[in-house]
Amino acid sequence: MDKYAEILLPLPLDTSFTYRIPKEMESRVAVGHRVIVPFGAKRFYTGIVESIVTKAPEGFEVKDIALALDDKPILRHPQLKLWHWIADYYLCSAGDVYKAAVPSGLKIESETFIEINPDYEPIGDEILSERESIIFQLLDHEGAMTVGTVATKTGLKNVQVAVNSLIDRGMIIISEKLVERYRPLRIACVRPEFDPASISEAFAKVKGAPKQEKLLLALIEMSGWQRPENEHKEVIRTELLKRADCTSAILLTLEKKGLLSSYKKEINRFAYDGSKTIELPRLSSAQATALHEIHQSWRQHDITLLHGVTSSGKTEIYQHLIADVIRRGDQALFLVPEIALTTQLTKRLQAVFGKDVIVYHSKFSDNERVDIWKRLLDTNNPCVVLGARSSVFLPFYHLGLVIVDEEHESSFKQYDPAPRYNARDVAIVLASMHGAKTLLGSATPSIETYYKATAGKFGLVSLLKRYNDIPLPDISVIDLHRARQTKKMSGTFSLETVDRARKALSEGNQIILFQPRRGYSPLARCRQCAWTPRCTKCDVALTYHRDIDRLICHYCGSEYPLPRVCPQCKEPAIETLGYGTERVEDEVTKLFPEKRILRLDLDTTRNKSSYETIVDDFSARKGDILVGTQMVTKGLDFEGVSLVGVLNADMLINFPDFRSSERAFNTIEQVAGRAGRREGQSGQVLIQSYEPSHPLFGYIINHDYLGFYNHEIAERERYFYPPFTRIIYLYLKHRDRGLIDRIAREYGRRLTDIFGQRIYGPERPSIERINNLYIRKIMLKVEVEASMKRVKEILREVYNEAMQNPMLKGLTIYYDVDPF
């Protein structure tokens, strides 16, 4: 009897698909295995087996599985279950989750290649354009490749036209090939080719050649060749050469003499075996009490919030909790919101846990991610995984503890593409599926979390003093209006800020300057006629980046030259206005020419190690001033920083969103927390603002989290915002500007028919076009207790029905659940 498998494909489709399992594959097709299946006209995808069934599906022709890739599952329980939870809760497909969860090196896919038609027979002389003949010759020499590779190799723009013409004439053909992207790392090893009994004969062969003798000796020692076979060790070629102090020419000579042979060995890139350098830190009595309270709290609440002010020593408490878990033989997940944070924490954790620390985030190459995945899949040993949000998808064996540090951070939320999930909330669900405990940590808990903690849904432990009783930093607000009126400004800095900075630097301290925007100037404009360059694909002004002398759209990434002459009035009157981090860096350089300045933002951290270099350099005092965006505000621990400047607080406060106060309070309190983290050094924070009397500053100056919380939670309740309701945004996108409003209204009407008062909008978002798609937004507020699965079903019904309407053709919709 035939067997069939339900296969999940990495596509945004709502169902899985049934394929027949060919007899010879039966032993290799099981739940969690990867299989390659045909889909659509020509494509092949790597799918995951979700279940095996014996009943043949009816109503369509069933295709066969093309290839079974695995001998054992690449997933572990409860990963599939978690994917489905995410798909239901965040209103996307399980295929979307699969796509995001599994590194692409594990998902072999077919790609479209072009190659010379083997049946092509030239008739007379075919007349080719220059481009066509370049492409034809390239394919003739190098064989099949993708159109993209053709473009890179030839350096030609728009190769597609020439390619199409060659296809039309039958000179080249299209083919689908499966492409395996994962490349295991192989290292060269060496082994002796004689048995221990004939050692003296071996040495006879190198007599009179001292270098060869030395190499042979080193090889015997390193390989343990004289010992019993099961004690032989693998000898890495480079290590052997180093030990014998020889060149590879000598090694080749021995190889020719038949004394040794070389081979390649596949290794895991992360077989790191660093050793522990320190013991677990001794906790202060306040920390020890908090630790005890956390254990107590977990007896009643699987999820507990640790509200610990900045520099209270939360990390040390985490280390103790992780040590417990490892001792018990379980695994721990330590989630942080930002890759920049893994740098410092990796060192702090490795010092205590050595090789049991595994780091994972999106800056790793795909090969590296596959290796980490495999390493976890192969081990049932205790370990701690430190990572950014995607680490919730790893194949854990058995989690005993999940820590979410800086749980209030919006960067736990993925905006684009689907799944638009909050890794903090997914981590909580993951922990519960493993029966593990969760600790959420923050100096400024999110309003939702603190509400749950005080309402008894989560446990709550507070640690409201800094480690060593160091005082919290002293915060003052500088009135920019007054400073401007009294001419006490220097560029974007008030003179007071400059003076305090000078003083801090002269005392040998470091400074952090926080500017929310990157680039040089967020705006360019004509002085004569006020013309402003805008993105042609998005409704936004362009940001000027001086280091590349170009205007960039921060939404779609398009670049444009900065016009020297105004295209509207033809005057050479283009100026750039406002401040981004690049310009702040520039001004600081002028103010303090003898100081070393580092910048931390998206532009300076494009490659994998740049975060680490900047953070390490600043830690090692190779910089005096660190300028940066939000990246500098999160849990970094620098000992030399005495002053923090928030250069533009108004941008944070005046954001049209129900979370803007919360975000502004958290961001400022967090960046302030970077100041004065060591004994004998008082921390200072200066906030520059045009609205110094804004009530938010009162709470910030007094480090009054509770006061702020009480104010904010009352507002949320009054206006019926989270945590008193759950918000889902529906984004509607369409190419046609003339149609989008009609479509959105029509769609909103259908939703209102079902959801009634729970629907708000449609409204025009502040940026109403991105990448040539016009956007409208509809808000759905649902009761907290509502089943998201049911909401999803209803939304799908509305969608399917609406799509019957020809007017809505070309409409794209996506959902953002619990927007942050």
Which spans of this chain sit near ligand ADP (rule: CB under 6 A)?
281-284, 287, 308, 310-316, 467, 635, 637, 677
Query: 709 touches which of ligand ADP, Zn ion, none (CB within 5 to 8 A by kind)?
Result: none
C-alpha 391, offset from chain centre = 9
* Least spacing, CB of residue 319 vs ligand ADP, in Å: 9
Distance between CA atoms of residues 362 and 395, nearest Å? 16
Sign of the CA dihedral 27, 29, 34, 36? positive
Query: 555 touches which of Zn ion, ligand ADP, none (CB within 5 to 8 A by kind)?
Result: Zn ion
| Residue among 313 and 400 whose Cβ is closer to ligand ADP | 313
| Residue among 95 and 640 whose Cβ is closer to ligand ADP | 640
Q: CB under 5 A: which stretch of 266-274, 296-304, 366-374, 563-571 binds Zn ion? A: 563-571
Task: Indicate the residue whose CB is closest to ligand ADP.
Answer: 313
| Residue among 207 and 282 whose Cβ is closer to ligand ADP | 282
Residue 669: how many other CB atoms lie within 10 Å: 25
Q: CB under 5 A: which stretch of 387-395, 435-443, 555-563, 780-788 binds Zn ion? A: 555-563
| Residue among 527 and 678 whose Cβ is closer to Zn ion | 527
Query: 677 touches which of Zn ion, ligand ADP, none (CB within 5 to 8 A by kind)?
Result: ligand ADP
* Least spacing, CB of residue 417 vs Zn ion, in Å: 17
- Helix (H/G/I), strand (E/B), else coil: 490: strand
Figure out which of the listed residues 288, 569, 714, 767 binds Zn ion, where binding follows CB under 5 A. 569
- For 77-163, strand residue ranges (E) read 109-116
| Residue among 466 and 769 whose Cβ is closer to ligand ADP | 466
* Least spacing, CB of residue 767 vs Zn ion, in Å: 9
Per-residue mark of binding to Zn ion, 471-510 (x: CB under 5 A): ----------------------------------------
C-alpha neighbours within 13 Å on the C-beta side of residue 616: 10
Distance between CA atoms of residues 648 and 699, nearest Å? 18
Distance between CA atoms of residues 507 and 439, nearest Å? 39
| Residue among 287 and 684 whose Cβ is closer to ligand ADP | 287
Residue 340 makes contact with Zn ion by CB under 5 A: no
* Least spacing, CB of residue 525 vs Zn ion, in Å: 9
* Least spacing, CB of residue 561 vs Zn ion, in Å: 15
Q: What are the Cα distances from residue 297, in Å, to 14, 113, 178, 464?
A: 40, 59, 52, 17
* Least spacing, CB of residue 316 vs ligand ADP, in Å: 4
Figure out which of the listed residues 147, 433, 464, 556 binds Zn ion, where binding follows CB under 5 A. 556
What 8-state DSSP symbol labels residue 65?
Answer: P
Q: CB under 5 A: which stretch of 72-80, 534-542, 628-636, 703-711 binds Zn ion? A: 534-542
* Least spacing, CB of residue 419 vs Zn ion, in Å: 24
Query: 310 touches which of Zn ion, ligand ADP, none (CB within 5 to 8 A by kind)?
Result: ligand ADP
| Residue among 2 and 559 whose Cβ is closer to Zn ion | 559
Residue 755 makes contact with Zn ion by CB under 5 A: no
- Helix (H/G/I), strand (E/B), else coil: 740: helix
- Report the amino acid identity of residue 137: Q
Q: What is the C-alpha radius of gyration for the chain, rounded to an integer number of angstroms?
A: 31
Distance between CA atoms of residues 700 and 793, nearest Å? 44
Q: In what order do the strands lie in the sheet containing 331-335?
A: 357-360, 383-387, 331-335, 399-405, 437-442, 303-308, 459-463
Query: 89 touches which of ligand ADP, Zn ion, none (CB within 5 to 8 A by kind)?
Result: none
Residue 560 makes contact with Zn ion by CB under 5 A: no
Q: How far apart are the first and last CA of the chain?
A: 51
Query: 202 touches which of ligand ADP, Zn ion, none (CB within 5 to 8 A by kind)?
Result: none
Query: 290 touches which of Zn ion, ligand ADP, none (CB within 5 to 8 A by kind)?
Result: none
| 353, 401 Cβ separation under 8 angstroms | no
Site for Zn ion in 504-533 (CB under 5 A): 526, 528-529, 531
Query: 281 touches which of Zn ion, ligand ADP, none (CB within 5 to 8 A by kind)?
Result: ligand ADP
408-411, long-range: CB < 8 A, 24+ apart: 408/442, 408/444, 408/445, 408/446, 408/449, 408/662, 408/666, 409/337, 409/338, 409/634, 410/659, 410/663, 410/820, 411/337, 411/338, 411/630
Cα maximum dimension of the chain = 96
Query: 538 touches which of ligand ADP, Zn ion, none (CB within 5 to 8 A by kind)?
Result: Zn ion
| Residue among 560 and 592 whose Cβ is closer to Zn ion | 560
| 122, 146 Cβ separation under 8 angstroms | no
- Helix (H/G/I), strand (E/B), else coil: 693: coil
- Report the amino acid identity of residue 524: A
Distance between CA atoms of residues 344 and 351, nearest Å? 11
| Residue among 288 and 529 whose Cβ is closer to ligand ADP | 288
* Least spacing, CB of residue 543 vs Zn ion, in Å: 11
| Residue among 305 and 566 whose Cβ is closer to Zn ion | 566
Figure out which of the listed residues 135, 215, 341, 553 binds Zn ion, where binding follows CB under 5 A. 553
Runs of H (alpha helix) within 210-308: 210-223, 237-244, 248-256, 285-300
| Residue among 315 and 331 whose Cβ is closer to ligand ADP | 315
Query: 553 touches which of Zn ion, ligand ADP, none (CB within 5 to 8 A by kind)?
Result: Zn ion
Distance between CA atoms of residues 115 and 251, nearest Å? 42
Q: Which residues bind Zn ion (CB under 5 A)?
A: 526, 528-529, 531, 535, 537-538, 553, 555-556, 558, 566, 568-569
